[in-house]
Amino acid sequence: MKINVRYGLPFVEVTICYHGRELHLRNVLLDTGSAGTIFGADAVDAIGVKIEPGDFLNKIRGVGGVEIVYSKQFDFVKVGLVSQEGFEVEIGEMNYGMEIDGILGFDFIQSAGLVIDSGKLTITARG
């Protein structure tokens, strides 16, 4: 899978599925420095992801400051041919001053066994 550099940062395309509805996201930051994966509430609204009674709210902290998020389990999160089923992600506003649909964090990178080649700007699966 190809990595695209925008704003000096690595972006990838990700396909997500929630309750059988799929969405292709083109602007997902590949971030080994982010512990978790997060998608923008506006982006995932298109496939029916919404906060519901009983959803747990959490504060996350990052370079951009503090953000309130909630978690959802997706049918799958897929990068290229690498898919993680039943993957839990956080959903937040993601107002970071750039066009971004989400952040693919180290939780996904590690569990999927992704290998990042920053010279060739590609991602492959370990093995």
Q: Which residue type, as a one-letter code, is found at position 99?
A: E
Is 0.85 topped by the overall pTM?
yes
Distance in angstroms (rounded) separating the CA atoms of residues 119 and 127: 19
pLDDT for 64: 66
pLDDT for 123: 95
- Per residue in 33-63, pLDDT tens? 999 999 999 999 999 999 999 898 988 887 6
pLDDT for 16: 98
Where do the H-state alpha helices sit in the chain? 41-44, 106-112
Distance in angstroms (rounded) separating the CA atoms of residues 68 and 79: 26
Q: Cβ(3)–Cβ(33) under 8 Å?
A: no
Q: Which two tokens stand for residue 113?
A: 């066994």
Distance in angstroms (rounded) separating the CA atoms of residues 19 and 65: 31
- Identify the structural domains of the chain with CATH numbers, from first to last: 4-125 (2.40.70.10)
- Per residue in 79-120, pLDDT tens? 999 999 999 999 999 887 788 999 999 999 999 999 999 999
